[in-house]
C-alpha cells in the first residue's frame, strides 16, 4: 500500500498541460502553448561559459551544502544593490529550484497542523507543497477590485492561534499584480504584531514593469527577521531546466534549511550554480533586454484583449502572465463540474491552443495565458481564443 500522502495531493496542472502539449507535438499536431511559464530566451552566453569552464576545471565534486561561496557572495551583492537587503553568506541557501527552496522553508518553520495562509489566486504548487509537509493550507479570498492583492484588514480576519506563516507572491503568478511599498508595509505590520513568518516568493522580481520593485525584507530589520525570501534563476535568466533557486533568511532559519537539504539533496548541481554565478555577475544587460521584450509583449497582449468582447483581465505590472476573466462566457458555457477546466480542454481540442484553467489557481471563472513565447504565437493564440469565445456566445444566444 502506498503512502496516504498521495491521496491528498493533486498533480501539477501546468506540468500536466505542458506534457500534453509535448505529446501532441510528437504526434505531429501543431500546437500553440500559452500555458507554462517558461521564457523562450536562451540562457545568456556568458553564464553558459561559466558552467563550461567549471566542467573543464573538473569542478564536479561535493561542495558546501548551502551552495558555492562565490555564488552566495554574488547573491548577497545582488540583494544589497538591487533590493536594499543586507545579508551575509551564511544567510543564503541555494536549492534545486525555487520549488525546492519553498519546500525547504516550509519544512524548516512549520509543524504538522500549522496553518499557512495563501492568498487566492495562488500559484498551483503552493497548496500541494503545504499539504506535503503536513501543514494546513488556508486560502484567503481576495478581491478582483483590488487586482486580487492581499490587504492588512483582510489578513487579520484569517489569523488564528494555528497560523504560522503567510505565503506572499510578488509579482504575482497568475495575475501579474505588484504590491506597492505602502501595501506591503501594512501587511508586514500585521505579521510582526501577530508573530507569523512571511515566505516572500519574489521569483519574478526582475520582471517588474513598475518604477521600482520593493522586496519585503527591505522594509526593516524586524521585517527581515521574520521573512524568508525565495528567488531563483528560472524566470530572469531563462534557466528553467537547470533547477537553481535560493533563500535569504535569518541565520537560524538558514541553518535549519541547510540541515534539511544536507539529508535530502546535499546541494544543487555545481554546474547549475556556476551558470547562476555567471548570470548574476556578467549578464545584467541580457536580463534587462529580456524584461524590455516582456514589457513590449505585455502591451501587445493587453491591447488585443481590450478589443475582445466578453472578456476582462487583471492588468499585469509584472511577471509574464495575464489572468483573464471569462465570467460572462461561463454563464453561457455548458459544463459539468469545472468551467475553466472544460473550457480549456475544449479549446485545446478544437483550436490547438493550450492555456491554463483558473481552477488550478483557485478561481474557476478565469484562465491564465503566458506571453513568455513569440509574438506570433501569442497573437495567433489570442485570435483563436476570440473565435472560440464568439462561437460559444453566438451559439447560446
Are residue 262 and residue 347 in the same domain, yes or no? no
Measured on CA atoms in the order 215, 115, 366, 39, is the torsion positive or negative? positive
Q: Residues 194-243: pLDDT tens digits?
A: 999 999 999 999 999 987 899 999 999 999 999 999 999 999 999 999 99
- Cβ–Cβ < 8 Å for 151, 158: no
> Which CATH number fits the domain that encloses residue 202?
3.40.640.10
Residues 6+ apart with CB under 8 A from 370: 34, 35, 36, 37, 38, 320, 321, 356
Q: Residues 336-372: pLDDT tens digits?
A: 999 999 999 999 999 999 999 999 999 999 999 999 9
Are residue 348 and residue 222 in the same domain, yes or no? no
- Total count of domains within the chain: 2
Are residue 24 and residue 154 in the same domain, yes or no? no
| Residue 391 clears pLDDT 90, i.e. is over it | yes
Q: Which residues pair with 230 in a beta bridge?
A: 201, 247
pLDDT for res 279 = 98
Are residue 201 and residue 78 in the same domain, yes or no? yes
Task: State the pairing for strand pair 312-313/115-119.
Answer: unpaired
Q: Residues 147-189: pLDDT tens digits?
A: 999 999 999 999 999 999 999 999 999 999 999 999 999 999 9
pLDDT for res 69 = 98
pLDDT for res 210 = 84
Residue for cell digits 516582456?
294
> Which CATH number fits the domain that encloses residue 350?
3.90.1150.10
User: What is the average per-residue pLDDT within 119-146?
Assistant: 96
Average pLDDT, the chain: 96
Which of 283, 314, 343 represents a domain boundary (last residue)? Answer: 283
pLDDT for res 397 = 61
Q: Which residues pair with 315 in a beta bridge?
A: none
Are residue 56 and residue 169 in the same domain, yes or no? yes
Are residue 303 and residue 239 in the same domain, yes or no? no
Q: Residues 334-345: pLDDT tens digits?
A: 999 999 999 999
Determine the straight-line distance between the first and last CA of the chain, rounded to whole angstroms: 52
Are residue 240 and residue 123 in the same domain, yes or no? yes
pLDDT for res 192 = 98
Lowest average pLDDT, out of 5-14, 75-84, 277-286, goes to 5-14
Are residue 192 and residue 173 in the same domain, yes or no? yes
d(CA 334, CA 123): 27
Q: Which residues pair with 33 in a beta bridge?
A: 354
d(CA 109, CA 57): 38
Are residue 268 and residue 338 in the same domain, yes or no? no
Strands lying side by side in the sheet with 136-140: 92-95, 245-248, 227-232, 197-201, 163-169, 115-119, 136-140
Instruction: Give the CA angle between residues 198, 194, 227 to the nearest 5°.
Output: 20
| Residue 12 clears pLDDT 90, i.e. is over it | no
User: What is the average per-residue pLDDT within 265-293?
Assistant: 97
Are residue 348 and residue 337 in the same domain, yes or no? yes
Lowest average pLDDT, out of 30-34, 161-165, 274-278, 385-389, goes to 30-34
Which of 283, 312, 341 represents a domain boundary (last residue)? Answer: 283
Provide the residue range defining the domain that includes 386.
Answer: 4-42+285-395
pLDDT for res 1 = 87
Which of 283, 303, 333 represents a domain boundary (last residue)? Answer: 283
pLDDT for res 361 = 96
Are residue 279 and residue 309 in the same domain, yes or no? no
The stretches of the chain forming alpha helices (DSSP H) are 13-26, 45-56, 69-83, 98-109, 124-132, 152-158, 181-194, 221-226, 251-264, 270-282, 284-306, 327-332, 339-351, 375-395
pLDDT band at 396 (very low <50, low <70, confident <90, very high): low
d(CA 31, CA 176): 25
Q: Residues 249-260: pLDDT tens digits?
A: 999 999 999 999
pLDDT for res 61 = 98
Are residue 222 and residue 119 in the same domain, yes or no? yes
Amino acid at each position: 500500500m502506498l503512502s496516504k500522502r498521495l491521496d491528498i495531493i493533486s498533480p501539477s496542472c501546468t506540468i500536466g498541460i505542458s506534457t500534453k502539449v509535448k505529446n501532441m507535438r510528437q504526434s505531429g499536431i501543431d500546437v500553440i502553448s500559452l500555458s507554462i511559464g517558461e521564457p523562450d530566451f536562451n540562457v545568456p552566453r556568458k553564464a553558459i561559459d561559466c558552467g563550461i569552464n567549471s566542467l573543464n576545471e573538473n569542478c564536479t565534486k561535493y561542495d558546501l551544502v548551502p551552495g558555492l561561496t562565490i555564488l552566495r557572495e554574488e547573491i548577497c551583492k545582488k540583494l544589497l544593490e538591487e533590493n536594499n537587503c543586507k545579508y551575509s553568506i551564511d544567510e543564503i541557501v541555494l536549492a534545486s529550484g525555487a520549488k525546492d527552496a519553498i519546500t525547504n522553508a516550509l519544512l524548516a518553520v512549520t509543524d504538522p497542523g500549522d496553518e499557512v495562509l495563501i492568498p487566492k489566486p495562488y500559484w498551483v504548487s503552493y497548496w500541494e507543497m503545504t499539504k506535503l509537509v503536513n501543514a494546513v493550507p488556508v486560502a484567503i479570498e481576495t478581491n478582483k477590485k483590488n487586482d486580487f492583492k492581499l490587504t492588512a484588514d483582510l489578513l487579520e480576519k484569517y489569523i488564528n492561534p494555528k497560523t504560522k506563516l503567510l505565503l506572499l507572491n510578488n509579482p504575482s503568478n497568475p495575475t501579474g499584480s505588484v504590491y506597492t511599498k505602502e501595501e506591503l508595509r501594512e501587511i508586514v505590520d500585521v505579521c510582526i504584531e501577530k508573530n507569523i513568518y512571511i515566505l516572500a516568493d519574489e521569483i519574478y522580481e526582475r520582471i517588474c514593469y513598475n518604477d521600482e520593485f520593493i522586496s519585503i525584507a527591505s522594509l526593516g530589520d524586524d521585517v527581515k527577521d521574520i521573512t524568508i525570501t525565495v528567488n531563483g534563476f528560472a524566470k530572469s535568466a531563462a534557466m528553467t531546466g537547470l533547477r537553481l533557486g535560493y533563500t535569504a533568511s535569518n541565520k537560524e532559519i538558514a541553518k535549519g534549511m541547510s540541515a534539511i537539504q544536507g539529508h535530502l539533496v546535499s546541494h544543487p548541481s555545481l554546474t547549475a550554480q556556476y551558470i547562476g554565478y555567471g548570470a548574476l555577475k556578467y549578464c545584467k544587460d541580457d536580463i534587462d533586454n529580456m524584461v524590455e521584450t516582456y514589457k513590449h509583449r505585455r502591451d501587445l497582449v493587453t491591447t488585443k484583449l481590450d478589443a475582445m468582447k466578453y472578456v476582462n483581465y487583471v492588468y499585469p505590472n509584472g511577471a509574464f502572465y495575464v489572468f483573464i476573466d471569462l465570467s460572462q462566457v461561463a454563464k453561457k458555457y455548458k459544463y459539468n463540474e469545472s468551467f475553466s477546466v472544460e473550457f480549456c480542454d475544449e479549446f485545446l481540442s478544437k483550436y490547438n491552443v493550450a492555456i491554463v484553467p483558473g481552477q488550478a489557481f483557485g478561481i474557476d471563472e478565469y484562465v491564465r495565458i503566458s506571453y513568455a513565447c513569440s509574438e506570433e504565437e501569442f497573437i495567433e493564440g489570442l485570435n483563436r481564443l476570440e473565435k472560440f469565445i464568439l462561437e460559444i456566445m453566438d451559439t447560446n444566444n
